[in-house]
Amino acid sequence: MKQKRIFSLGTALLMLVSIILTFSSPQSSSASSTTLLTSKEILANEKKQPFDLFQNPILGDGADPWVVKHSDGYYYYTHTTGNNVTIWKSKTLTGIHSGERQVVWRSDPGAPNSGSIWAPEIHFIDGKWYIYYAASVENPDKRMFVLESEGDDPFGPYHYPEGTEDTHGQITDPTNKWAIDGTVLEHNNKLYFVWSGWEGDVNVSQHLYIAPMSNPWTISGERVEISRPELDWETIGFPLINEGPQILKNDKGKTFIIYSASGSWTNDYNLGMLTFDGTDPLNPEAWEKNPTPVFKKNPDLDVYGPGHNGFVKSPDGTEDWIIYHAAKFENAGWTRSVRMQKFTWNADGTPNFGTPVGTETWLRVPSGESEGQFVPSLPGEVYQYEAEDAHVNNVRVHHNTSASQDYKVGNIDFADSFVEFTVNVPAGDYTLVSRYGNGMGEPSSHHVTVNGEANGELWYINLGWENWEDAKMDIQLNDGENTIRLSKGHLYAELDYIQLIPKASKVYKYEAEFAQLHKAETENDSSASNGQKITNMNENGGFARFEIDVKNTGTYEMKIRYANNTGSTSSHKLVMNSNPTKIIEYRNSDSWQYATVDVKLKAGKNTIMLKKHKGSAIIDYFTIEEK
């Protein structure tokens, strides 16, 4: 049995509560006692909590996501559901999957807009909601349609706009050609419709078109082509595709169209960008195409086919987020999930989407979703065992790039099916974490035995196949060799790996990307813990600042994982609770290294700052251990 001893974020949320209880200041134990506190005390208590984290995907199954933040403080989300339009309502972006959900419209059977309902978008225009969607009775006859709300409730009811009853709300230009992925551009108090369509009547290439609108349901002029697939990265797969146009404006009002290019079924589906540089959106010369994609696959983190996106602000309005779909694994075709991540802006006003993060990368929730101030402390010692390396019976090992090490164990479907791990770790109490996939539509389970004795049942919520999630239970292990067996329980689930986390661990880990950064950047890197690191802390005044909370006053060993390929020794100034204490040196190396220093911490809140001193070093994370 291969055993991997790792520093892992894979159980961060599952462990967060226990970490807070064992490593943070005491908290109120019940809602009733909280009500006795003053408002200042409640706020102070909230600020002592680590901020929240999440992992992609935010919805385990879905394609063509669209979300809008309304003035009522709620997010309204929709994606392709096939034969209807469904809207989700949520106070948070990360909570969309569990938000209130309602089918707001379904066509009459046999109507020209009753089948293959694709990529709905919901827009609030002049006090009404308008839903734009593509539909057809048969797929080759795709056209765009629009619905209008009867009031200002996003959940409807909806009807066909005035004068469109006979055409079932169809919105079209005079050519009436094949059309999908319609959206609305507002420019200088005028409306324009932007969509993807065919030039002729044969499916050889999808182009992007724009046309003027006289109202939210009427195109009032000829269509104008503003993009066609022509560059290498736009022409992978046949038919050739430009689709999914989305409007994005920066804080100066400059307009961009972000669109999807190449075949949506390929690994190379990606995002391109058109920049509007003119006065008339109907002038094709006013739209300049970026020569390279602005968001593309990230094979190092097993991200393929990112595309068909939307844009939205964080709850407090301070951050920009991109929401998109991506393939669940390499060569997955249209087997997709919905993901999101924060993006920034370049100095020239263009968006910087970075690269898509992996599904095992923990991200800070959008600003305004939590009040936490402290960097989450994570278990610093984790033992991981891959399911494909275990002793198995009457199951199947599958190659799958969505799983750790590209393999998973499935078909745990029979009474004698099991996956048995042999482990050799120090005796003690552990948290057993099972990384599972469940697409049964309802909870499933595995029975767990430890050294031949029943240890209960691990229950798995349904998030869809290939959407890996963690379930946990407490176990006790003896000295020497132990066996842990997971066997078929209720319905079916697949297994990626298990982890064992010592409950008595005294080593805690802090990811550098969760620090407050100044003149430094977060960068994706598959070799880094959590798939991210901080870099470009090159300018004077650059720093990474961490707020942590420890239980005891004393001396701690601080171990920093770093990289330095500058050719000479670099260094940071270590500032503890606003007091400069020492210089940490990072020797030149082509691989990850560790720098170790002793630090004195007080019980409760501490601030640790790594400040630019000499040269440049890349920081992955640091651990602290009480001596």
365 pairs with which residues across the strands?
Answer: none
**Which one from 52, 61, 148, 243 is the annotated catalytic residue?**
243
Using alpha carbons, list the distances in angstroms from residue 143 to 83, 137, 168, 178. Answer: 15, 10, 11, 6
As given in the structure block, the two tokens for residue 85 are 């339009």
Contacts with 606 (C-beta within 8 Å, 6 or more apart), sequence order: 547, 548, 549, 550, 576, 577
By CB atoms closer than 10 A (0-12, 13-18, 19+), residue 609 is buried
As given in the structure block, the two tokens for residue 358 are 């992996």
8 Å CB contact between 553 and 603: yes
Contacts with 401 (C-beta within 8 Å, 6 or more apart), sequence order: 302, 329, 330
Helix, strand, coil shares of the chain, percent, nearest 5, are 10, 50, 40
Q: Please report, for the chain, how many H helices and E strands are present, in that order.
A: 3, 47
H/E stretch holding 602: none
- Closest Cα to residue 548, out of 375, 371, 400? 375
Which three-class secondary structure string do you get for 394-431? CCEEEECCCCHHHEEEECCCCCCCEEEEEEECCCEEEE
Residue 49: other Cβ atoms inside 10 A: 19
Alpha-carbon span 53 to 376, nearest angstrom: 9
Alpha-carbon span 1 to 6, nearest angstrom: 16
Q: Please, what sign has the CA dihedral across residues 279, 280, 285, 286?
A: positive
- Closest Cα to residue 433, out of 484, 361, 467? 484
8 Å CB contact between 66 and 77: yes
Using alpha carbons, list the distances in angstroms from residue 203 to 80, 138, 208. Answer: 21, 14, 14
Alpha-carbon span 556 to 377, nearest angstrom: 14
Residue with tokens 């469904």, as numbered in its chain: 86
Q: What is the DSSP letter of 52?
A: P
**Which one from 64, 268, 466, 470 is the annotated catalytic residue?**
64
With H, G, I as helix, E, B as strand and everything else as coil, classify residue 138: coil
Contacts with 482 (C-beta within 8 Å, 6 or more apart), sequence order: 422, 423, 424, 425, 450, 451
190 pairs with which residues across the strands?
Answer: 187
Phi and psi at residue 331, to the nearest 5°: 60, 30
8 Å CB contact between 89 and 391: no
- Closest Cα to residue 112, out of 183, 182, 171? 171
Residue with tokens 């920049």, as numbered in its chain: 275
**CA gyration radius, the chain:** 27
Is 100 in the active site?
A: no
Whether residue 376 is preceded by a cis peptide bond, meaning omega within 30 degrees of 0, is no
Is 64 in the active site?
A: yes
Active site residues: 64, 243
